[in-house]
Structure 1
Amino acid sequence: MFKSIKNDRMIQAVEPDTCFYIQNYAAVIAKNSLDLTVDPPPDLAIEIDITSRTQFNNYQLLGVPELWRYTRRGLQINLLQEGKYVESNMSPNFPNIPIIELVNEYVDRTQREGRSQAIRAF
């Protein structure tokens, strides 16, 4: 869980389904806990929104540069630009990989063929 602090007061707490340090990996390696007033936010947060909807402003306050959100309609990549999220067709963390197409294809394949078959095919 990450807490956003503003003017010494907590305004939001978020708990992504998963998150990763990619560009800032060296800044957080071997740390047992993080303090986002000092440490960088994760480079990538991933939310699976099947039963609830992710509030982008929570991640904007934290300054998470890339937010992936999977909904019933498929994967959406959002990049933080000038303090707001803008939808993108690609991930700057994985520039040569068609992430949206791959995720959507293999989730669909999981539903048609089963999880084990889809994982083997991937």
Structure 2
Amino acid sequence: MQLTLNQIIVSPGQQLLLKDVSWRQFETILDELGESRASRLSYSYGVLEIMVPLPEHEKDKTIISYLVQFLLEELNIDFEALGSTTFKNEQMNQAVEPDTCFYIKNQETVIGKNRLDLSIDPPPDLAIEIDITSRTQLDNYRLLGVPELWRYSQDNLTINLLQDGEYIESLNSPNFPGIPIISLINETVKQSQILGRSKAIKGFKSWVKENLN
């Protein structure tokens, strides 16, 4: 008897790995699951991972995404925020859904586009992953050519920059030069867990206005 996807239950914080999945099967699964779903997918060389985030994962994703958008707006930088868009490249046999992502230098190329194909479209300039559920695979992003990847895990932000086809850790973000982005993000998320989201964001905004304007 063959199981169907709607018979499989993945609990929050858990992951399901399926091997020997063809690209056509992967595309069919994407269509079956639809856009309005809690799960996140990644696909690499026939292995499909389905993960359902924990509530704290969503909290961290929401606040970090907001902080990035606020910074870009304060710096008067045009951008497109694409959330957890599915990025795929059939030729490379890779697909991934970041927790959130931003087109900054390439923002004009994706204006008005609802679907992206990285065999013809550029990758996001910045992708962000919340690694509470330990799902991020660097190879997906490396092969898709994402130039900057942030990973937030265990109250710490790590910046990975793509250089000569490999990721290296960096203390700085090229998208936010001169800004201590790691300490700012870490402290704000920490304060949100102690004081609440609103007060933490107010503190972040105060720092930005005092130091950048």
TM-score by length of 2: 0.53
Q: Take 2:96 and 2:113, find their aligned partners in 1: how far apart are those partners? A: 20
Which residue in the other structure is 1:15 paired with? 97
Q: Look at both structures and tell me which one has the larger radius of gyration over its CA atoms.
A: 2
Post-superposition CA distance 1:58-111 (Å, at most 9, x none): 001100000000000400000000111000000001112111010001111112
TM-score by length of 1: 0.90
2:144 is the counterpart of 1:59? no
> Which runs of structure 2 are paired with 1:76-87 in the superposition (5 Å)?
76-87=158-169
Percent of matched pairs sharing the same residue: 68
Displacement of 1:4 in angstroms is: 2.8
> Which runs of structure 2 are paired with 1:16-55 in the superposition (5 Å)?
16-55=98-137
Q: Choose 111-120 or 92-101, whichever is displaced more.
A: 111-120
* Matched residue type, 1:114: G
Displacement of 1:11 in angstroms is: 2.3
8 Å Cα contact 1:5-1:11 kept in structure 2: yes
Give the total of aligned pairs: 119
8 Å Cα contact 1:60-1:83 kept in structure 2: yes
Post-superposition CA distance 1:16-57 (Å, at most 9, x none): 000110011111112222221111010010000001231100
Which residue in the other structure is 1:95 paired with? 177
Structure having the higher helix fraction is: 2
Which residue in the other structure is 1:3 paired with? 88
User: What's the Cα RMSD here?
Assistant: 1.3
* Matched residue type, 1:3: K
Q: Take 1:100 and 1:64, find their aligned partners in 2: how far apart are those partners? A: 19
Structure having the higher strand fraction is: 1
Aligned residue for 2:93, secondary structure, equals strand
* Matched residue type, 1:31: K
